Structure formats: structure tokens, C-alpha cells
Amino acid sequence: MKEYSKIMLGVIILVGAIWIWRLNQSILPESTVVTNQKSVDSLKIVIGSYEHKQKTYDSTITNLSIKIVNLKKQIAQDDKSLIELKKKINEKTNSIGKFTTVDIADFLSDRYRDSIR
């Protein structure tokens, strides 16, 4: 009988150990879930702040892109103006060769006649 009671005591201890182990296993996942949920929540906050920063950066990029387009238009207009000025200067430079010495002397004498007196 002693051996039988030792076996029964061992079985009871084993069942108790298994029961305590299973109880700890059921508690552990709950704490793991809570810890993981806190981590997920903090990550959502971080992601939200990065999304806000990204929207700000996107807005800045859009504004700068618009400014670049406007500057390109202004450069194109300035280039057209320069081309027109160069054409006018070339026309005037080329037309000077058509005047004779007498024409130039008459022009200058008429123009500066008042300043000589």
C-alpha cells in the first residue's frame, strides 16, 4: 500500500504541476497580448506623425514644383525678349553700313548743332 500511495501522490503532484503550468500558459498570452497591443498603439502614433510629416513634405514639393514651372515660363519669356533685342541690334548695326559719310556728318551736325553754340 505504501507504494500505491507514493504512486498516487506522484500522480497528484504531476496533475497539480500540469494544472499550474496550464494556468500560467493561459495568463501569459493575455499579458503578451496587452504588451503587443501597447506596442501596436505606440507604432500607430509614430506612423501617424510620419504620415503628417509626409503630407507636409508633399505640400512643400507641390508648391516648389509650381514655382519651378513659373520660373521656367519667366525664363522662356526673357529668352524671347533677348532674341528680339538681338534682332533689333543686328538690324541697326547692319543699317549703319548703308549710310554714307555725308549722311553721318549731316546727322551729327544737325543733332549736336545746339550744343556747339
Instruction: Over range 38-59, report the average pLDDT.
Output: 94
Q: pLDDT of 70-89, one tens digit each? A: 999 999 999 999 999 999 98
C-alpha distances (whole Å) from 77 to each of 40, 84, 91 are 55, 11, 21
> Which region holds residue 100: left if phi is over 0, alpha if psi is between -120 and 50, else beta?
beta
User: Would you kindly state where each structural domain of the chain is located, as residue ranges?
Assistant: 2-116
Type of residue numbered 52: H
On the CB side of 28, how many CA atoms lie within 13 Å of its CA?
6
More confident residue, 45 or 97: 45
Q: pLDDT of 19-39, one tens digit each? A: 777 766 666 566 777 888 899
